Amino acid sequence: MKKLSILATLSATPAMAASGPFFSLGNTDFIVTISFLIFLGILVYFKLPGLIMGLLDKRAAQIRTDLEEARALREEARTILASYDRKQKEVQEQAARIIASAREEAQAAAEQAKIDLKASIARRLAAADEQIASAEAGAVRAIREQAISVAVAAAADLLQRQMTPASASASIDESIKQVEARFH
């Protein structure tokens, strides 16, 4: 602190710009030098340099504390980042496993769907074959019934043309005898 006051005193020496004797109250350089020295004396008397240095020391200590806290926070952030990186890798691996599992399940479902489709097609073909066979049997029956009715109609028509009243009565009598023979 003393070096600073000596330096200030030396730097405050007049530049010989004023005229007349230096140590007179008419010389402004002398008045400014005296005022400056009184100002420095007041600063020293009230121990302002010590207070300023104390405030600067407190500020430096606060800055050191903040820097140490910032370093600790940076280390904590690195730790958290590493943790999140690990978790991200785990999640990616789990997602890959889920995707692989989903693909396997989709393939199995596709295979099952193919099997079910084949079974459904086989059932439908069997049902269609049964319907075709039933339709064929119905058509054959209908044709037989039609043929029978045509044959009966043709026979009735033929009998009607060839039969005379006497032969009709003889045929009726014979039919009655056959019925009586079968019932007794």
Say whether pLDDT at 115 is over 60.
Answer: yes
CA distances from 41 to 45, 49, 73, 173 (A): 6, 11, 46, 173
Say whether pLDDT at 1 is over 60.
Answer: no
Q: What is the pLDDT of residue 14?
A: 47
The mean pLDDT value for 66-79 works out to: 97
The continuous run of DSSP H or E covering 105 comes out as: helix 48-162
| The most confident of 5-9, 51-55, 91-95, 169-173, by mean pLDDT | 91-95
Instruction: Determine which of 50-54, 102-106, 119-123, 169-173 has the lowest per-residue pLDDT on average.
Output: 169-173
